[in-house]
Amino acid sequence: MKLSVLRNACSGLRIHPARPGSRVCGFPGGCPPVGSASSRVILRAAASTTTTSRGASPKLVLNVGGKSREDGGYVYDVSVRDVVQSTKEAMVALHRENPGLQPALAIIQAGEDDSLLDINKKMAGKIGLNIIQICLPKECTEDEILEEVLKLNEDPRVHGVYLHLPPASLTSRVLNTLKPEKDVDGISDLNLGHLVRGDVSKGFVPPVVSAVVELLERHDAPLEGKTVLLVGGEGPLGLALQCLIQRSGMVAVNSHRSLQKQVMQADAVVLLGAQHTEVPPTWLGPGAAVIHCAPALMTDEHAFEMSTQPGIGHLTAAYRMQNVVRGSSRWLQEQQYRAWRLRSLKLQPLTPVPSDIKISRAQAPKPVDQLAEEIGLLPEELEAYGRNKAKVHLSLLDRLHAQPDGKYVLVAGITPTPLGEGKSTVTIGLVQALSAHLKLNSFACLRQPSQGPTFGVKGGAAGGGYAQVIPMEEFNLHLTGDIHAITAANNLVAAAIDARMLHEATQSDKALYNRLVPSVNGVRRFSPIQIARLRRLGIEKTDPGSLTPQEVSSFVRLDLDPSKVTWQRVVDTNDRFLRKITVGQASTEKGQMRETGFDIAVASEIMAILALADGLGDMRSRLARMVVGTSRSGQPVTAEDLGVSGALAVLMKDAIKPTLMQTLEGTPVFVHAGPFANIAHGNSSVLADKLALKLVGRDGFVVTEAGFGADIGMEKFFNIKCRASGLRPNAVVLVATVRALKMHGGGPNVSAGAPLPREYIEENLSLVAGGCHSNLRKQIQIAHLFGVPVVVALNVFKTDTQAEIDLVCQIAKECGASNAVPCHHWARGGRGSLELAHAVKEATSRPSKFQFLYSLEMPIVEKIRTIAQKVYGADDIKLSPEAMANIDDYNHQGYGTLPICMAKTHLSLSHMPDKKGAPTGFILPIRDVRASIGAGFIYPLVGTMSTMPGLPTRPCFYDIDLDPVTEEITGLF
């Protein structure tokens, strides 16, 4: 392989590695000398007229009938000068707005003919473009050409590609592999189609065609309505030329056997290629213009004798550069915010409402690339996972960094029953109403569901009825594998911990050091992550042989205390028998047994990091900071100390991209991250929200959902997520149901899997009022603590009476809600949430007075007490000795300024699940206090919270099955 860096005009441009036998090079400037010509035009065509006309690099000869050679040259020189000047002005305008932009033209050629580069390089230098030349072997294959084209297609710094190849190499496959937006010679089918249709703004005019038309229009004799004879113009290039000539007011005529007669009658003759034909000057009429286009890649025996003037490759090159600049300008325009062109999907709701999976399956989703285009995403920002979902690249944030954010709306809820009250359904119904019916840009941002609830009690989390994310099977099962990536990363840390403790317990310092820093091919060196550990230890050395025995011991010994390892393994299944296990029982582990346990995967700190990170670099840093345990000397041990943080980032590099899906009505949804709200912070990712806020635009809406009741998910959204993201909400939608309000008003217990008691299916205004004046009022007050307006959304069930609905809306407004509306999205889709959409639009138009509940500078104990008293309604807190000891450790280690993430039951405002309504007068017990340093919060454990759910007597999986013939899933909800 021969590679040399392009100099001068090519400086600073990345050169693609080429295949063996190819050459990428630059040559000194200089233009071909002007030569004389004979008194006649002799035309010899290439072997294939079609491919020559499409792909040849032309030479043009201008023979102006009765004029002198000097006058014809003047026309040509003026044409070149004017095209260069206008293109330079366009470049200046581009640089004024984008100083860092440096457009480049890439030339792929067969062999090492330097003459073409000389012309194009000189023209590029005048305009200020870069040139890159890729020289392939003279007999290069189609695959070799395609390899280079594909590289250039994906290089954002190359804005034009010129295929200077033999006609036989310009196959349909080659031409149409080249991206049309980089096809500055206008030879791809799509560009030629745009030209024929007259839509020049979307494609490129072939430079040779522009040059011919330019010379015709500059001819002294007015050519308006005059006849232009095209000789040998049967191919695509002739078709393009014919279209442009006719559009310029001239009449284009193709030649036939009576060539002499046609030449004599024509006002201008353009020779594009024909069989051996002589055109004596005596055939030309007075003042007739003759333009001769000859293929540049001809064998010697097919050389041309040219009349009167030198070739006008400079004019063609000038137009080629103009196309590169136009391509750059279009590229920049594509980088700007694009107005949405969302096509909603029509719903035809049925009565009675079918099952969720039947509704989902009855609606055909749009292809995800079509949805992406409708909402202004670029093709390169999308990474498709099948037809219905795709990852979205974070580069979108850079592209739209100057775009104002839309309105930010949080959907929270009152304290739920074990059945859930439909926050996801309300979220989806709201965005369907906003986008599909009010025609306002809106995005839903949802969490990815865990397999635990999906196969346990609660079922999936795609919404329900006619307010769903589709396809719901894909949403609820695996999605794009993010939870699997978290599981793999989490368990890699766990394996690294136990392996490190084993090796330290069974090896000397010297043996550990020799294995941790081995000699490879006689060379011994530290890895970058090991050098980072040395720096943290205060050791500035980089030569492994220079460490003292004490430094070696400090480096190799993490000295983890087995009783203080806080990191557990995870699995995304409700498995109660993994809550406490013993590891290391095999004889090969040499007695290194210890008790540990499993958490459910979504409780992993890595899930919280995924949800709170604002980029790949931030995620890498957070993964490194994760504390996995404490050494015997009381020092925290991190994933970076274990040397595993880089590998974790590799496992998580795709998971950090949000997944794009759609609702039943074709509106966009981001699905990303899935921490539980009772044992974690319970919100979808910061990145999904940020991407969505840019995409919807200033007047759009991003609707995101917080888990469980407002006392849990909403409080953590404000105090943790909003601190991490810097985003500020404009409004809160508080979801309530008559069913849950009756429970809080004194109704009997509600149990999953058991029939609802009679009180919940018959009208009972007393119970409804009791729930409104207790739990609903308290949750509205909690939202007001943060200075955010509240809209109450009553999720209507078919058993609710109109009197109950009216009562809830009335009391909610009396309790301080800015509005309270019934929602019928489950039965009607977005149309059933129009009243809510109007209420949210009105609420977000008011100024928000957002504030945090506590200062991070407050002591850890006081932050916990503030949440307990102001949010939960407790009189005070009671810390266990273990909790107090851990708080002292965290203060000593410098973690005292982190926010608080309470791990508490979601079934009550208190720590007692059976205490409904708005309990008061209780002391909140803090059993333990732990830290997720990578995620960035302290999490107190309230009561007997478990981080591994169990399966009920009759889990959901009893009803889930697969049809082996159709592969359709049944029983999922």
Fill in the amino acid letter for 545: G
- Confirm whether 717 is a catalytic residue: no
Give the tokens for residue 958.
Answer: 């009893």
- Confirm whether 458 is a catalytic residue: yes
69-97 vs 115-127: helix crossing angle, rounded to 10: 60
Encode 325-349 in three state secondary structure: HHHHHHHHHHHCCCCCCCCCCCCCC
Q: Which of 124, 603, 647, 677 is catalytic?
A: 677
Encode 366-382 in three state secondary structure: CCHHHHHHHCCCCHHHE
Q: Per residue in 780-815, is it b (16+ CB within 10 Å) or e — as a string?
A: bbbbbebebbbbbbbbbbeebeeebbebbbebbeeb
- Give the Cα separation of 306 and 292 in Å (integer): 8
- Give the Cα separation of 577 and 559 in Å (integer): 30
Contacting residues for 261 by C-beta, under 8 A, at least 6 apart: none
Residue 422: which region, alpha, beta or left (left: phi > 0; alpha: psi -120 to 50)? left
- Confirm whether 197 is a catalytic residue: no
- 3-class DSSP assignment, residue 632: coil
Give the tokens for residue 162.
Answer: 């010129």
Contacting residues for 495 by C-beta, under 8 A, at least 6 apart: none
Q: Which of 54, 59, 226, 447 is catalytic?
A: 447
- Confirm whether 677 is a catalytic residue: yes
Residue 899: which region, alpha, beta or left (left: phi > 0; alpha: psi -120 to 50)? beta
- Confirm whether 567 is a catalytic residue: no
- Confirm whether 704 is a catalytic residue: no
Contacting residues for 646 by C-beta, under 8 A, at least 6 apart: 529, 620
Q: Which of 475, 826, 922, 937 is catalytic?
A: 826
Q: Which of 283, 340, 555, 708 is catalytic?
A: 708
Q: Which of 52, 316, 425, 573 is catalytic?
A: 425
60 exposed, middle or buried (CB, 10 Å; 0-12, 13-18, 19+)? buried
Q: Which of 391, 458, 863, 865 is catalytic?
A: 458
DSSP, residue by residue, 533-578? HHHHTT-----GGG--HHHHHHHH---EEEEEE---EEESS--GGG
Give the tokens for residue 912.
Answer: 């007692």
Give the tokens for residue 902.
Answer: 């309470």
From residue 491, give the alpha-carbon distance in Å to each of 71, 445, 561, 611, 612: 81, 28, 19, 19, 20
Fill in the amino acid letter for 472: M
Residue identified by tokens 């803090």 is: 926
Task: Please answer whether residues 78 and 218 qualify as being in contact, where contact means their C-beta atoms are separated by less than 8 angstroms.
Answer: yes
Residue identified by tokens 């635009």 is: 697
Q: Which of 320, 423, 533, 841 is catalytic?
A: 423
- Confirm whether 797 is a catalytic residue: yes
Phi, psi angles (nearest 5°) of residue 564: -120, 20
- Give the Cα separation of 349 and 354 in Å (integer): 9
Task: Please answer whether residues 811 and 769 qualify as being in contact, where contact means their C-beta atoms are separated by less than 8 angstroms.
Answer: yes
- Give the Cα separation of 893 and 636 in Å (integer): 8
- 3-class DSSP assignment, residue 187: coil
Phi, psi angles (nearest 5°) of residue 266: -80, 150
- Give the Cα separation of 728 and 849 in Å (integer): 9
Task: Please answer whether residues 271 and 291 qualify as being in contact, where contact means their C-beta atoms are separated by less than 8 angstroms.
Answer: yes
958 exposed, middle or buried (CB, 10 Å; 0-12, 13-18, 19+)? exposed
Contacting residues for 299 by C-beta, under 8 A, at least 6 apart: none
Pairing of strands 790-795, 819-823: parallel
- 3-class DSSP assignment, residue 805: helix
Phi, psi angles (nearest 5°) of residue 968: -80, 140
Give the tokens for residue 898.
Answer: 């982190």
- Confirm whether 423 is a catalytic residue: yes
Fill in the amino acid letter for 709: G
Fill in the amino acid letter for 420: G
Q: Which residues are catalytic?
A: 423, 425, 447, 458, 677, 708, 797, 826
